[in-house]
Amino acid sequence: MRALRRNQLVWLHDAAWATLAARPWDTAARTTLAHWQQHRLPLVVCRQAPCTSTQRISVGLAAPRSWAASKLALDLAPEDIQAHGDFPTLQEVAQGTAWQSAAQALADGLGITAHVYGSHGWQHLSGLDYVHAQSDIDLSLQVPDMDTAQAVVAQLESAQLPMRIDGELVFAGGHAVAWREYARLLQGQTRSVMVKSRHSLQLADLPALQALTEAACAI
């Protein structure tokens, strides 16, 4: 299996679900886990917790906020994972909505695939009620280089979706930066941005971010 990135989805083998269920959960957490197992819903790869062995994978379960146990932090062995994949695309999430045309126009302008995580992504995957009137839409955008990232930011700033657009630019090596922070960095409104990956969290200015992405491309 290729190295997993933050915000990728993983589906578990039945034996892995049984192992998780055997842990000493409270009633609310046990109910949430049972629903996820019954409906074969995915978990999401998180930043590796400091206390987690390098032989384990930190993942999260994100249920609707109205659930008593809405967020669970878990750790898995690589062999627990049956399959992995990505959140749905922007076009998939927008299908049949009043803003489908606006989403398609944005997708066409971006020139790269936008995946939707957060409340809109989880609602699409699970059929549960995550989205409310104030919900942002979170986009994950893999960009091959800094020039593409700048062009993507320009498209996002001019987008006409009915909700606020949040999310991340994901550079080589899984190094992710909030796109709004990156826009402020380009405009000189901030000197550094928070760079996230599955294994690290660090501040970087523009030259340092460039060096990170170039080093990852060289691997």
What is the model's pTM? 0.94
What are the sequence ranges of the domains in the chain?
Answer: 9-85, 90-218
- What pLDDT digit, counting tens, does each position of 135-193 carry? 999 999 999 999 999 999 999 999 999 999 999 999 988 999 999 999 999 999 999 99
Say what the pLDDT of residue 1 is.
53
**Hey, what are 83's tokens?**
């399959």
Residue 212 pLDDT > 90? no
Residues 14-23 pLDDT 10s: 999 999 999 9
What is the pLDDT at residue 3? 80
Place of tokens 């999430």: 93
Burial string for 146-159 (b: 16+ CB within 10 Å, else e) reads bebbebbbebbeeb
For residue 200, what pLDDT is reported?
A: 87
CB 212 within 8 A of CB 204: yes
CA dist 217 → 22, 45, 78, 174, 210 (Å): 41, 22, 25, 11, 11
Average pLDDT over residues 113-123: 98
Residue 166 to residue 32: CA distance in whole angstroms: 27
Active site residues: 136, 138
Q: State residue 219's pLDDT score.
A: 61
Q: What per-residue confidence (pLDDT) applies to 29?
A: 96
